[in-house]
Chain A
Amino acid sequence: QVQLQESGPGLVKSSETVSLSCTVSGGSISSNYWSWIRQPPGKGLEWIGYIYYSGSTNYNPSLKSRVTISVDTSKKQFSLKLRSVTAADTAVYYCAREDYSTSSGGYYMDVWGKGTTVTVSS
């Protein structure tokens, strides 16, 4: 059974870059799309972007200028870099697997990490 685990610094200073990683265990990273989603305190879910195992990416336009998602299949990890952070980037960051149903059609995020909290300090 595939499991995901996020890792990264809990605290980052304003204007700096935060780097998070997500490690895939119990299955292969060499298929599926791999996503990042965040949730500010007390608020809803925001999709940041995803990467296909081959390296192709797609980002939320609201964050595209500051975000890079990459994958290292040899380490079974994918990563998020968010540049020039501000207090508005304080959130719980989740990684997730996006799978596809051949029977019903459509993509869905069926495996999620537990999340890692990123706090931006001034």
Chain B
Amino acid sequence: DIQMTQSPSSLSASVGDRVTITCRASQTIITYLNWYQQKPGKAPQLLIYAASSLQSGVPSRFSGSGSGTDFTLTISSLHPEDFAAYYCQQSFSVPRSFGQGTKLEIK
């Protein structure tokens, strides 16, 4: 099974900041990596698929990059509504697996 490790587990930032979250896979997953945002009490929402493709309707301040085992999610300029939890997920193989999550908090 593929293990996904995110860092950091939590992050404090201010509106307007640029933030980066990293995700590492225990083996190569090529570019089969997705990113989700989850707000309290809500279901996750897809942000990025295939490592760098922006899901329809997602603001362009979100971007993803990486291949192989190392991936990043970048928010270029934080908006108030971006403070949430973020999860990476691999779709290279089954069982599917998620990172443990990164909680983005307001500084």
Chain A residues in the interface with B (C-beta under 8 A)? 35, 44-47, 49-50, 58-61, 94, 98, 101, 103-110, 112-115
* B1: Cβ under 8 A from any A Cβ: yes
How many Å lie between the Cα of A112 and that of B1 in the bound state? Answer: 24
Specify the main secondary structure of chain B where it touches its partner: loop
Q: Which residue of B lies closest to A114 (CB)?
A: B43
Q: Which residue of B lies closest to A115 (CB)?
A: B43
Contacts A108-B46, A109-B46; A101 near B53 (Cβ below 8 A): yes
Size of the chain B interface, CB-CB below 8 angstroms: 29
Closest chain-A Cβ to B23's Cβ sits at a distance in Å of: 13
Give the one of B1, B31, B87, B91 with max A CB within 10 A: B91
B97 proximity list for chain A (CB < 8 A): 47
Give the one of A61, A104, A113 with max B CB within 10 A: A104
